């Protein structure tokens, strides 16, 4: 089977940096994605890692360690609008579009 | 480009009925995936369609089915509705290029309530 673990809640203040961790167990691992979802909204893609290392996209960065089955999403210069749920999701070889999602991390950004 | 559209946005049904949800992918996208989102189970993969063929299927009962048309639009059907089918049903499209890192673009979802 597959499983992902991520913290249920994280709180930080505006301007700060926050890291959301994700550990996974899956056979045939191919890649790790991150999605953001505001209340009542659609999940939107943030970042993807298939290889070890850091991917940077503006204020968001994502890291993957395949040997540790671990990744994280780093959000810098937090803004109020970053308050949302963040999901990590794994894809497997042969079924790249079949994402298995973690339970989500609710990020609250305080003024 | 217009995003993924889903209709209807909200739906109320009673137990035992059936429902059909529709999804129009982003123009040029050929893969459509469906997900169910509930507070208890989170986001769960239902199935993926590409070129009118189901490519992958999640762990859902046979009451959940889908299809894809030649214009890539997709429908999913749930028969004999149960209370536990109340959920947000999300459709996602991707270009399905040769690589396996296709980003999935989600629609706003259909909120189904089963009474």
DSSP letters of B1-41?
----EEE-SEEEE-TT--EEEEEEPPTT--EEEEEEEETTT
Which residues does B25 contact at the CB level (< 8 Å), separation at least 6? B4, B31, B32, B72, B73, B74, B91, B93, B105
Under the banding of pLDDT at 50, 70 and 90, the label for residue B103 is confident
| Tens digit of each residue's pLDDT (9 = 90 or more) over A10-43 | 999 999 999 999 999 998 898 999 999 999 899 9
For residues A87-104, average pLDDT: 87
pLDDT at position B101 is: 56
- Residue B85, φ and ψ in degrees, nearest 5: -80, -5
Of A43, A91, A104, the CB nearest to B106: A43
Cα A63 from Cα A65, distance rounded (Å):
7
Say whether residue A91 is in contact with chain B using an 8 A CB cutoff: yes
Under 8 Å between Cβ of A14 and A78: yes
Note the pLDDT tens digit of each residue in B7-47: 999 999 999 999 999 999 999 999 999 999 999 899 999 99
* B13 CA: distance to closest CA in chain A (Å): 20
Q: How far is CA A3 from CA A97, A98, B14, in A?
A: 17, 14, 33
Residues 34-93 of B with CB under 8 A from A: 35, 42-45, 48, 55-56, 58, 90, 92
């Amino acid at each position: 089977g597959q499983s992902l673990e991520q913290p249920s809640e994280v709180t930080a203040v505006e301007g700060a940096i926050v890291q959301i961790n994700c550990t996974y167990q899956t056979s045939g691992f191919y890649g790790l994605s991150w999605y953001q979802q505001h209340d009542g909204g659609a999940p939107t893609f943030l970042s993807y890692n298939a290889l070890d290392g850091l991917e940077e996209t503006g204020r968001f960065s994502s890291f993957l360690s395949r040997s540790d089955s671990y990744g994280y999403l780093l959000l810098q210069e937090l803004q109020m609008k970053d308050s949302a749920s963040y999901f990590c999701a794994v894809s497997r070889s042969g079924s790249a579009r079949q994402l298995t999602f973690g339970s989500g991390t609710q990020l609250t950004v305080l003024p | 480009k217009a995003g993924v559209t889903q209709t209807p946005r909200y739906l109320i049904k009673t137990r035992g009925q059936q429902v059909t949800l529709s999804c129009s992918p982003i123009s040029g996208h050929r893969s459509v995936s469906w997900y169910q989102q509930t507070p208890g189970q989170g986001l769960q993969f239902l199935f993926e369609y590409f070129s009118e063929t189901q490519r992958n299927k999640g762990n859902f009962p046979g009451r959940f089915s889908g299809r894809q048309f030649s214009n890539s639009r997709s429908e999913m059907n749930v028969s004999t509705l149960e209370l536990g089918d109340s959920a947000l049903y999300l459709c996602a499209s991707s270009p399905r290029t040769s690589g396996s890192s296709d980003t999935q673009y989600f629609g706003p979802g259909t909120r189904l309530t089963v009474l």
